[in-house]
Amino acid sequence: MAKAERTTVEKTVTEKKKVPGITLTLSQEEADVLMALVGNVTGDSYASPRKHTDAVYTALSRAGVTTYGKPYIKQMSGNLRWLIEPKTPSYRI
């Protein structure tokens, strides 16, 4: 007599799919400034949008962009911090 039993099996799946992308052309100075900006963003690098700013920084670095010896960092004031969750709206008037 045949018998069948439903179970769950773990399996690694490699999927290839098309996702929208953006190609951005920058001058050297624009790339330097963008790298300075995204390199100074704080917050959780895994659970917040900071993971994207880190990815932009890494891509610029691999393209040969550097801010070493350039004044951009010294010209910045304030900071940008990504939160894990969006701020709740304030109901104060």
Per-residue pLDDT tens over the stretch 45-85: 899 999 999 999 999 999 999 999 888 888 888 878 888 88
Residue 89 tokens read as 């709206």
- 87 in a structural domain: no
Domain that holds residue 63: 28-82
pLDDT for 91 equals 73
Task: Report if pTM > 0.85.
Answer: no
First-to-last C-alpha distance (Å) of the chain:
74
- 23 in a structural domain: no
- Rounded-to-5 percentages of helix, strand, coil across the chain: 30, 5, 65
Q: Write the CB contacts of 60 (distance below 8 Å, at least 6 apart in sequence).
A: 31, 34, 35, 38
- 46 in a structural domain: yes
Cα separation, 9 vs 64, in Å, equals: 44
Cα separation, 72 vs 77, in Å, equals: 10
H helices of 1-93, where? 28-38, 50-62, 72-75
| Total number of domains constituting the chain | 1
Is residue 24 over pLDDT 70? yes
- 71 in a structural domain: yes
Q: Comparing 73 with 31, which gets the higher pLDDT? A: 31
Q: Comparing 86 with 37, which gets the higher pLDDT? A: 37
Q: Comparing 62 with 7, which gets the higher pLDDT? A: 62
- 50 in a structural domain: yes
